[in-house]
Amino acid sequence: MTLTSGTRWTLTRDDDAFPTALRETESIHVLRGIGDMSCLAEACISVIGSRRATPYGLAAAELAGRVAAECGLVVVTGGARGCDHAASMAALDAGGKAIVVPGSGADVIYPSSSADAFEGAVSSGGCVVSLEDWGAGPRRYMFVRRNSLIAALSLSLIVTEADLKSGTYSTASAALSLSRNIYAIPGSIFSPTSRGTNRLIESGAAIVPDEIALEQLIASDYDRLRLVDERPITERGRTLSALVASPSRPDELSEKMGCDVLTAIRNISDLEARGLVERLTDGRYSPTERALLGDNVRRA
């Protein structure tokens, strides 16, 4: 699939518009892009995560993209399915700008399921940018180069969900080599897709325990502030927190909560009626996307 909208351009290191953030990376010499190249000079933050994202990872990516956009930052992603797509669309839905960096030519939409993220980036004042030639299809080595560009474009990188052996983790490693700030959203110690983020936190990455903490990190590093209301913790919140930590059956939840099974069932039923909990095929209950994102969940 080809991206046909937007103005094409090419930048070299000799051009004044060549991003200052990339001049310290000697391996990057030519950029090809579609859209408004001026967004490359704005304050950018990269948001990355697993392609095979869990509901938790998708919710974390949407949170990161939305908060970053509401703080006035341009959100940079790789345009892949999963967390990349979720973060890009959340930023655009919040009225922000996005930069998509594909592992292909800038005019090649890959994967095709992310067409709305590519087209939305261009139509909303952002761009699609690549190190590859026009028309180049995706190749494994291109994604390695793409990851380095994602890391270099931004002052800070938010890792939403990642395994240890993944492109997401390699992008974080590239960011560390460039002395970029790393923010990591923690996940369950039992989730393979959170091993990378949890290991980054262990290695010194800034932990993002909630929305307010993310805003504070952005305020510190970018001198941007967005007002966020802190919500009180309720009994319903305790139940949701237990299910976020680990999807559970009513009997398992009762043990974690220290209540009887009937109380656990009533709590689950109430949350399910409110659209905050859903039953999985194996009989366990898990928070829905709406529960994880609150009132800011994106409506399709």
Q: What domains sit in the chain, N to C, each tagged with a CATH number?
A: 8-222 (3.40.50.450), 235-292 (1.10.10.10)
- Helices 250-257 and 261-273 pack at an angle, to 10 degrees, of 110
Length of the chain: 300
For residue 68, the number of C-alpha atoms closer than 13 Å in the C-beta half-sphere is 34
CA distance 170 to 178: 13
Identify the bridge partners of residue 287 per DSSP, sorted by sequence position. Answer: 277
pLDDT tens readout for residues 25-57: 888 999 999 999 999 999 999 999 999 999 899
**pLDDT tens by residue, 134-178:** 999 989 889 989 999 999 999 999 999 988 888 888 898 889 888
Query: Could you give the percent of the chain with pLDDT greater than 90?
Result: 60
Q: What is the pTM of this model?
A: 0.76
- The yes-or-no verdict on residue 296 having pLDDT over 90 is no
Tell me: pLDDT of 229 over 50.
Answer: no
Q: How confident is the model at residue 214 (pLDDT cuts 50, 70, 90)?
A: very high
